Structure 1
Amino acid sequence: MPVRTSEISQDHSGRGVGLGLALVSAVAFGGSGVAAKPLIEAGLDPLHVVWLRAGGAALVMLPLAVRHRALLRSRPALLAGFGLLAVAGVQACYFAALSRIPVGVALLIEYLGPALVLGWVRFVQRRPVTRAAALGVVLAVGGLACVVEVWSGLGFDPLGLVLALGAACCQTGYFVLSDQGGDAGEAAPDPLGVIAYGLLVGAGVLTVVARPWTMDWSVLAHSVHMNGTAVPAVVLLLWVVLVATVLAYVTGVISVRRLSSQVAGVVACLEAVVAAVLAWVLLGERLSAPQIAGGAVVLLGAFIAQSSTPARGSAEPVASGGPERPERELPVRETAA
């Protein structure tokens, strides 16, 4: 049975919206470091900044948690997993890795997450993974190696590498858990409720790790310097909470529902490129020629992955490049966002 033109148009429109949301999420996440760095340089501990980020976002999303309290009974494991992996795990492992290995190396290992997502989808969930998605991951990781200039720090600490790999695994959990129920239509768990409870769980875990009662709260009452410009610390904190956390998680989870975990994971690699560009513009940290070239390669990898991956529900076989069998119809899934 042939696919109707209206269904194809609807599918392409949904993918376009999903790609746009994924890009917004990457830009929002990418701006977190630029806003957090002046706070850290002013005297806040990195883990305290992470706790403020998660705790502030949890307070913002608290009304949605109350509204979707039925998720506590229907999806307790999903909420706990999202909080432990997607919120607390990524942040705690990444910042712990930074204390032992160079920033660029830690960032590169963390963004092996998209490759791990492909492995999870293919070998655990036994779902199709196209050659284009795999090629996109290879290009994105190679480009990231240039963006973070991985060769600038080669003194690796084994425990630091393990912690960075833990951040990558937690990032994989973020994409996999965001995709849970994506094919269930109206029965899918509401993404806003999942994010709200995930932030609450993550903030609770980070409270134990970060010990905020030892934080120097006076830093937030003064201005901090961003490339020589005085900026109120509370303004940067609001940016980290509202844009780099709430907006980033909401658009990121919904984009995974509209695209797929593997495609959204590749597009998320743009976060490192955005972070480098914003650091160049706002913090005066110059980009080298290899970094610019690496950013272009990451963009190419993301474009190949999102433009050539079949829609959800496609019957295209794994790594196949041929046309679909005419006797099979492509179902169109309505996203419950």
Structure 2
Amino acid sequence: MKRVNHQRTVGPGTAGLPGNPGGSAGIAVALLSSAVFGLSGSFAKSLLETGWTSTSAVAVRMGGAALVLLVPALVVLHGRWYQVRGNWKTILAFGFIGVAGCQFFYFNAVERLSVGVALLLEFLAPVLMVLWMWAATRRRPGLKTIGGALAAIAGLVLVLDLGGAVSIDPVGVLWGLAAAICLAIYFFITAKQNDSLPPLVLATGGMIVGAATMVLLGAAGILPTGFSAVPVVLAGRVTPWWVPLAGLVLLSTVLAYVTGIVAARRLGSRVASFVSLTEVLFAVLWAWLFLAELPATVQLIGGALIVLGVVLVRSDRAAGLPGEALGEPDPYA
């Protein structure tokens, strides 16, 4: 699940406020982006349950999306290949960690946990960033950030529901935390303002790198691969396998990334990042509708605490998160 939010063009004092003509439209686009991003877990899990592996799902998802976006990216690039040559390290890091790593770990978590729990674990990334920066700089974060981190940790305990009737797969939890770590590293890598590489080119290049990484690791036998043409069950109905795959590529990747970029440009990264938190709610809703998955009450309370914690962390200007003042990426998938 990784989102690309670049280039703030609306001032922080006006973005998303009443009377700002781009505000309401930007919020609507941001909600659409969150809604289609939230579909990825349900689509992926329906495939994984029929014999697909996470390696294959990520490879086909990113490879298909790259093919769809390749022509628009070439048009935007307009022959300026020096932009790619000058940013090849950023593209590789984005593709290897932000695309391949995040998606592979998240899909493995989804295979063992409910979609909502897996995504909530990944959403701990901002808290991990704060803890790392606190340890690295020895500068105490603001009170909101500390409160947000504590709320998120408390929420994680509730989400795991260690004393509940439904057992939580510890391996699945580790996969979810690995996805959170990849997401946090992605933020650090891409936090620096970069006006020389168009967002669409970065997204397309990252998807190509991510797909190639999965294909190479699978071909070498390092990661397991597997496909299946067995029909899947979505919303209680038997559906051809290509339906969730097409949704994964066209809706949860192509449409999600493009609308995420548009939303960030209309709202600025700070407002867009707040709206992106609704992805958790959408993911739980879609998992309920398509897979009949609904977390226990205590897990929903824990999820609310995690979202509250992330909101507090992101709203605290003393947190000093990478790229926050620059309108940089906010990736979720």
TM superposition score normalised by structure 2: 0.70
Please name the residue that 2:299 is paired with. Answer: 291
Instruction: Give me the whole-angstrom Cα distance separating, in 1, the residues matched to 2:140 and 2:16.
Output: 19
Structure 1 counterpart of 2:200, one-letter code: L
Please name the residue that 2:99 is paired with. Answer: 87
Map 1:43-192 → 2, pairs under 5 A: 43-66=51-74, 67-68=76-77, 69-95=81-107, 109-119=121-131, 130-147=142-159, 149=161, 152-153=166-167, 156=170, 164-181=176-193, 187=195, 189-192=197-200
Q: Is the 8 A contact 2:46 2:233 kept in 1?
A: yes
Offset, 1:80: 0.7
Q: Tell me: CA distance 1:93–1:303, structure 2 relative to 1, closer, same or farther (3 Å).
A: closer
Offset, 1:253: 5.8
Q: 1:218 aligns with which of 226, 229, 246?
A: 229
Q: Is the 8 A contact 1:140 1:269 kept in 2?
A: no
Q: Tell me: CA distance 1:218–1:52, structure 2 relative to 1, closer, same or farther (3 Å).
A: same
Instruction: Give me the whole-angstrom Cα distance separating, in 2, the residues matched to 1:254 and 1:180.
Output: 20
* Helix, strand or coil at the partner of 1:79: helix
Please name the residue that 1:207 is paired with. Answer: 215
Between the two proteins, the alignment pairs up a number of residues equal to 300
Q: Tell me: CA distance 1:267–1:209, structure 2 relative to 1, closer, same or farther (3 Å).
A: farther
Q: Is the 8 A contact 1:54 1:202 kept in 2?
A: yes
Map 1:264-279 → 2, pairs under 5 A: 264=273, 270-279=278-287
What do the CA deviations read for 1:253-309 (whole angstroms, capped 9, x no partner)? Answer: 666772259x93x76555444322221222222342213323433444455455x44
Please name the residue that 1:29 is paired with. Answer: 37
The answer to whether the aligner puts 1:237 opposite 2:245 as a matched pair is: yes
- Long gaps (5+) in structure 2: 1-9
Bigger drift between 231-240 and 88-97 goes to 88-97
Structure 2 counterpart of 1:55, one-letter code: G
Instruction: Give me the whole-angstrom Cα distance separating, in 2, the residues matched to 1:127 and 1:11.
Output: 30
Q: Is the 8 A contact 2:127 2:310 kept in 1?
A: no
Offset, 1:42: 2.8
Q: Is the 8 A contact 1:179 1:253 kept in 2?
A: no
What do the CA deviations read for 1:191-236 (whole angstroms, capped 9, x no partner)? Answer: 11111101011010011234499644534xxx42224212232221
Instruction: Give me the whole-angstrom Cα distance separating, in 1, the residues matched to 2:316 and 2:263.
Output: 15
* Helix, strand or coil at the partner of 1:218: coil
Q: Is the 8 A contact 1:47 1:92 kept in 2?
A: yes
Instruction: Give me the whole-angstrom Cα distance separating, in 2, the residues matched to 1:87 and 1:267.
Output: 21
* Helix, strand or coil at the partner of 1:44: coil
Offset, 1:83: 0.3
The answer to whether the aligner puts 1:259 opposite 2:263 as a matched pair is: no
Q: Is the 8 A contact 2:63 2:208 kept in 1?
A: yes
Bigger drift between 143-152 and 273-282 goes to 143-152
Q: Is the 8 A contact 1:267 1:302 kept in 2?
A: no
Instruction: Give me the whole-angstrom Cα distance separating, in 1, the residues matched to 2:154 and 2:276.
Output: 14
Q: Tell me: CA distance 1:267–1:141, structure 2 relative to 1, closer, same or farther (3 Å).
A: farther
Instruction: Give me the whole-angstrom Cα distance separating, in 1, the residues matched to 2:153 and 2:255.
Output: 25
* Helix, strand or coil at the partner of 1:296: helix
Q: Is the 8 A contact 2:42 2:287 kept in 1?
A: yes
Q: Is the 8 A contact 2:97 2:182 kept in 1?
A: yes
Compute the RMSD of aligned alpha carbons. Answer: 4.3
Q: Tell me: CA distance 1:71–1:227, structure 2 relative to 1, closer, same or farther (3 Å).
A: same
Offset, 1:39: 2.0
* Helix, strand or coil at the partner of 1:43: coil
* Helix, strand or coil at the partner of 1:189: coil
Name the structure, 1 or 2, with higher relative contact order (CA <8 Å, separation 6+). 2
Q: Is the 8 A contact 1:142 1:297 kept in 2?
A: yes
Offset, 1:56: 0.9
